[in-house]
Amino acid sequence: MRRREFLSALPLLPSQIGLDTLRQPHPRLIASNQDISRVRRLVRSNEGARSVYAKLSAEAAQIMKQPPVEYKLIGPRLLDKSRTALGRVYTLGLLYRLEGDRPILTRLVGELRAAAAFKDWNPSHFLDTAEMTHAFAIAYDWLYHVLSDEERVWIREAIVNKGLEPALAFYENRRGWTLATHNWNQVCNGGITLGALAIAEDEPARAGRILRSAVESIPRAMASYAPDGGWNEGPGYWAYATRYNVAFLAGLDSALGTDFGLSQMKGFDKAGDFRVYFSSPVGKTFNYADASDALGPAECTLWLARRFNEPVYAWQELELLKQSKRAHALDLVWWPGKIQSPAEARWPLDKYYEGVQTAFLRGSWTDPGTMWIGAKGGDNKANHSHLDLGTFVLDSQGERWALDLGPDDYNLPAYFGGKRWTYYRLRTESHNTVLIDGENQDPKAAARLLTKQFTPPLASVAYDLSAAYPAKLARHERTVMLRDRKVFAVRDEIAAPRDVDALWGLMTDAAVQCDGRRAMLEKRGKRMEARITSPENAKFETVPAQPPAPQRRNEGVRKLVVRLPGKVRQVKIEVEIANGA
């Protein structure tokens, strides 16, 4: 997004963005004293809120037994320590405000003192700096009236010297994360802006520069939600980016009484929809890009539910909180007044996201064993992407049958550099698509939607995957279908100017028995039957999915493939999968 474009989308000019409306009393970040009073009443009257409070109390009891964070890098990152400190601040900070327990305050100040003594907050990997600044901002603001003058001084100094000053160097040189269109932008702008707002009355010049720079920078990333709320870094980074985007907006609103119109940017109001749709009935996500398939609570959805009056987001978060052993302090601060399931809200069963070329098809909103599919065209150039145009995941009978392996260890050599496409989990061969001549897809390729159909008897999306192998294929159209809400089918129509080897593949951790054009998948006593409907001379086989060390071994995983008798110039491969007897 060009600078002129996103500035024109804002209701205010940068020169009009300032601290004139700063709320002077502390606390002013995210949770006011009125919010805390409401949470006290909520915990007394609401069983779900009491359960969250109990989880936070149990976590606090564990924190009280643990030593403060230490300066220790993992690879190039201090991020583990920054996140640990941030989580402790929110948990202990909220409980202190609710209970006034002096040992909690003492432990929390000890955490801050340890991190303030670090030589730096690792600005070379600026996420680390931003998250630690976030932690210090919330602690300073929430505890302001019970901190001593001496404690306020060294906390402010840490925020300025280890957070704001390194950030200003990025802003003033217009480099790095300030220009990014992905999660780094939201995380860094979010954490740093909260730090600036926390101490703005003592550092008005610095805070004003930070504020103007951040409000100018963050629309670059927020534009990535357009037009319909999707996120091309996958569900894991949807959560990371959106959590910080929400913290940024909530901090602006609570401290200044305005978010400068940023929450009105196109697509942001539908970001919560995307999370509901990428979540499967078995409690997993469509984990494309560098994402695990784990689905846990995300407190930011409760803020989104409030801001955009969408009780389905709140319903999902409360359902996930019931299943989770952990919770976030802001789950209580943003606790909803109304919830509604997607079925009650009459949400469509199928959804296509234009911005990220991703579709979700399902049999039912209420049957936990229903068939559910996530499928993507996608863009291999997207941040954190894998070479996986056309991939899909498949759930049925409460199990995942076609899976995405997710990321490998970020600390592998050049994982984000020159060796990225040598690692198995990131290569095309480990994804549920068609591998041509055993080679990777073009890292610069993108796929586009050709057609979509969402009707009760047939839900389908068709993608043009021709660009995945521009030197090898003249045409590759992939159609992913859900027939009669209970039969999955995928059809690949391929044409090439010269003979190519085309290998259809599906990654699974089910036990597999192949019998020519049929294969039986079995998992925990449940079965799925796969059948090749085209071509007649193809057969199923399995191939290993275990790369060499130090890559992750993928124990128990295998790849079900459709083996053609030879190379082809033109072929239609079609596979159906349905519940087995």
Cα torsion through 306, 312, 313, 314, rounded to 10:
70
Q: What integer pLDDT is reported at residue 581 of this predicted model?
A: 74
Q: Measured on CA atoms in the order 267, 271, 275, 276, is the torsion positive or negative?
A: negative
Task: Please write the tens of the pLDDT for every residue from 65-74.
Answer: 999 999 999 9
Digit-coded pLDDT (tens) for 456-479: 999 999 999 999 999 999 999 999
15 confidence band (pLDDT: 50, 70, 90): low
pTM across the whole model: 0.96
pLDDT tier, 8 (very low <50, low <70, confident <90, very high otherwise): low
What letter represents residue 278's amino acid? F
Instruction: Give tens-digit pLDDT for 305-356.
Output: 999 999 999 999 999 999 999 999 999 999 999 999 999 999 999 999 999 9
256-277, pLDDT tens digit by residue? 999 999 999 999 999 999 999 9
Write out the two tokens for 494: 């391929």
Q: How many CA atoms lie within 13 A of 295 on its CB side?
A: 20
Average pLDDT, the chain: 96
CATH 2.70.98.70 range(s) for the chain read: 351-579
pLDDT single digits (tens) 78-115: 999 999 999 999 999 999 999 999 999 999 999 999 99
pLDDT tier at 54, thresholds 50, 70, 90: very high
Place of tokens 């915990």: 43
Query: How is domain 67-216 classified at the CATH fold level?
Result: Glycosyltransferase (1.50.10)
CATH class, range 351-579 = mainly beta
Closest-CA residue to 254 (of 527, 462, 28, 562): 28
Question: Does pLDDT of 14 surpass 90?
Answer: no
pLDDT confidence bin for 46, thresholds 50/70/90: very high
Contact 361, 349 (CB under 8 A): yes
300-303 contacts at long range (C-beta below 8 A, 24 or more positions apart): 300/239, 300/242, 300/243, 300/245, 300/246, 300/247, 300/330, 301/272, 301/275, 302/330, 302/331, 302/334, 302/335, 302/336, 303/246, 303/249, 303/250, 303/330, 303/334
Give yes or no for residue 386 having a pLDDT over 80: yes
What is the average pLDDT across 426-436?
Answer: 98
3-state class (DSSP) for residue 356: helix
Evaluate if residue 121 carries a pLDDT over 50.
yes
Query: What is the pLDDT averaged over residues 420-432?
Result: 98
Q: Taking residues 157-170, report their average pLDDT.
A: 98
Q: Which range has highest mean pLDDT (5-9, 17-21, 501-505)?
A: 501-505
Question: Residue 149 — very low, low, confident or very high, per pLDDT cuts 50/70/90?
Answer: very high
Q: Is 285 helix (H, G, I), strand (E, B) or coil?
A: strand
Asked if pLDDT for residue 292 goes beyond 50, the answer is yes
Q: What is the mean pLDDT of residues 126-142?
A: 98
pLDDT at 1 over 50: no
| Average confidence (pLDDT) over 366-378 | 97
With a pLDDT cut of 70, the percent of the chain lying above it is: 97
